[in-house]
Every structure is written in C-alpha cells, then in structure tokens.
Amino acid sequence: MLLYFKSHTAYLIFFTLLVVFLINLFSPQAMSQTIGSVFTIHGVKVDEVDESASKAKITALENGQKQAFLKLAERLLPYNRNLISELELTYDTSIVNPMVESFEITNEEASSTRYIANLNFYFSESKSKNYFESLSMGEVNYTPPEQTLILPIMRYSDINMGSVFWGENNLWNIEWNKYNLSNSFVPLTLPLGDLSDMQIAPEQSIIKHQLSSVKQLMRRHQTTKVIIAILEMEDMDMHNAILHIYQANNQKIKHMQTIPSISKTEKQSNIFVNAIKETVSYIESTWSYEQNNGAYSNITNNTLDSEASITANVTFANMKEWINIKKYLGNSFTILETEVVSLGRNVAQIKIKHRGNIEQLRLSLLDEGVELSMPVVALNNRFKNRVYELSLRELSPEVMY
C-alpha cells in the first residue's frame, strides 16, 4: 500500500535516512564506529502519534536525529547554552543528514497510530568536526576518553550493615553489572569481583579508600582512571540516597562531588538506576569540560543571566593559602562579591554572590585552581541552608569513610 506523507520534505527526509542507513551499514566508517565513540549518540528515545504508525515513524526519525545532533553539540561544545539554543532553532536537515553515517533502531513498538523506539546515531567524525569548526568556535580538538573503572560502594542506613563492596549485599554493584555500560561514549568497566580481585583489594581497603588497593585493581583491569561511587541510603526502604563521587589515579584519591537527592521517581522506581545515570552523566560532563581546557574562558557574561548566593567553608593550611584563595576568587568572572562571615586559624566561612548556576560556578573556580565540593545534606535537613566546601585544588580533600 502506498504511504501518504505530510509533505514532500518529510518524504525526502525519510528516504534520505533510509538510503544513508543502507549504504553505510557495512561501510568501513560504520564498521569502525566502536561502542563508546564520542561521535555515537546512544539511546535517543522517541514516542510519536500520528494518523498511522508509518507516518509517526517518519516524524520520530526526524525528531530523533535532531535530538542526537543537539546531544553531540552539547558534548563537543559544553556550557555554551546560547549556541546550543541557536542550533536548535535553526536546525536544518540538509546540513545534518550528511553528517550521519548510519543509525540503528532498537526496542521498536508500534500500534495503529503510535510509534515508540530507541535510536542510536553514528555521526561522521570529520564532517562533524568541520561543521562545528565552521561556526567560528575555533578548532574542535578532543582526546578519546580513557577507560574508567567504576568501584560501587553501598552504604546502608542501618549502622549494623555499614558499607559493603564485595558480595551479594552490595545491591548497588549488582545493578551496575546489569546496566548497559556501552550506552556511554566513555568506555566504562567494572571489577570482576572474583577471588583474584578480592585478594588484591580486600573489601575494607576499598571502603577506606586505600590507594594501594585501588592501584592494584587499576593494574589488573588495565585502567588509568577510577571512579569510586558511594551510594549512601538515607532510609531503610531505600527511597532516598546521597551519591558521593571520588576520583582516583596513580597519585591520589579525591572527593569530586556529592549529589544530595537521589530518589525514586514515577518513571523510574529503581533508585540504583537513577544513581547510575547520575554517575555516568558526571563522568561524561567532566570529560567534555576537560577537552575544552577550561571552557569558561570562551563564554560571555550573556550566558550567565541569573544570580545566586551560597555559603562556603574555606580550608587552608596557612595564611598564604588563604590570601591565594581570596585572590583566585576575585579572578573568577562568575563571582560578583564575597563576604567573610568568620575567620579562624585554618578555616573561614564566606558568602559568595555569583552569576549563573552552581555548576557554572564550580567549573569556573576549577579554572582558577579552587575546588568547590557539593554539600552533604541529610534527609531531615533537606530544606536547611547548604554549606559548601572550598579548598585549593592541590589540597587532597579529607576522605570520608
């Protein structure tokens, strides 16, 4: 039966996507696309309703490609919200179609009028780089992401259970092993959890962040970067949790971020999956930031159109460090003003009025050599003022057991 298309343009888009897919399915470029590629966008969810499932599918492929393109733009040009918004408004299929080497449809479902699927898009590296460089953003350079070893630690609200790493009591680790890690463009891996792993890295040594044991796992699993993800349950029913993210390399382990409100949602009742997505998102956004080598140097004040204030505890070893921290804060263009609330021997409390959101502030401070740690907020203190932690990046934050 001959399909009816809403417009000649819709037909051309569908036909072009189909031809691109068939031609490139077994091409060298498509075959070279590896899981974890920076130019691969996995898991684009589409759900469209139209007069027929066929027409709904055409719309879904159009919208799915647009979503994938914008995700690629955010990955290569992080934090430039004005440009991303402009690309969304001026999206042109005639420009983006040649950039798509192939696409894949998974989990496809259809009724008489509805079409649902997950889409994976494989973009051409050279064509994508040429396009984004043509936007007067300069050369798009990137280093392929390093393989990262994830060490999930679960901390129960029941003090008798405490923290667990190896074994069946670590529900957090079990869920990580079920999760499809290939959906991330950063290559992720998990420890095997076999006898050799447990011998070279006893459970308590990982829970207590002993660098020697972490390095043993790094050597065995041939990675240079480790993320220790601690999921701390706040209640016995596991409805709410706090996520602590630490990063380790061959020199040190340091606290990177605390996300204080991981909880079940209507769409996702599994709190572990929500926390996994937060962890993967952190890893991917950190890579994007590192590739841009302090992306905030390219952002104008127009992208920071809001203002907010925070309270932070500043730790320093001596007065020289305190003076340097104040100087670095003054150099950050996101900070409007600072007020010293109290000053002690090795700690001070300050109020910071800043432009933009808290993540923009954190990343701008990284450019100045200052680490801003997210506060830990207990469930019963959810609505109280949060106090952040500030220190020089060279200082190793205190390890929390």
Domains (ranges, CATH) in the chain? 8-137 (no CATH), 148-291 (3.40.50), 295-392 (3.30.70)
Tokens of 362: 């954190």
pTM over 0.85: no
For residue 69, the number of C-alpha atoms closer than 13 Å in the C-beta half-sphere is 28
Per-residue confidence (pLDDT) for residue 136, from 0 to 100: 55
Is residue 321 predicted with pLDDT exceeding 80? Answer: yes
For the chain, how are helix, strand and coil distributed in percent, rounded to 5?
40, 25, 35
Least confident stretch, 10-24, 233-247, 276-290: 10-24
Range with the poorest average pLDDT among 12-26, 82-96, 295-309 = 12-26
Whole-number pLDDT of residue 370: 85
Task: Quickly list DSSP for 141-167.
Answer: ---PPPPEEEEEEEE-SSTTT-EE-SS
3-state secondary structure of 265: coil
In angstroms, the Cα distances linking 218 to 85, 117, 177, 223, 224 are 40, 37, 18, 5, 6
pLDDT digits (tens, 9 = 90+) for 145-202: 888 999 999 988 777 778 899 988 899 999 999 988 888 888 899 999 999 999 999 9
At residue 20, does pLDDT exceed 70?
Answer: no
Q: Three-state SS for 372?
A: strand
Q: For helices 271-291 and 53-76, give the axis angle rounded to 10 degrees.
A: 50
90-147 residue pLDDT tens: 888 888 999 999 999 988 998 999 999 999 999 998 888 888 877 755 566 677 888 8
**Separation in Å, CA 94 to CA 16, 100, 140, 155, 164:** 10, 11, 22, 51, 53
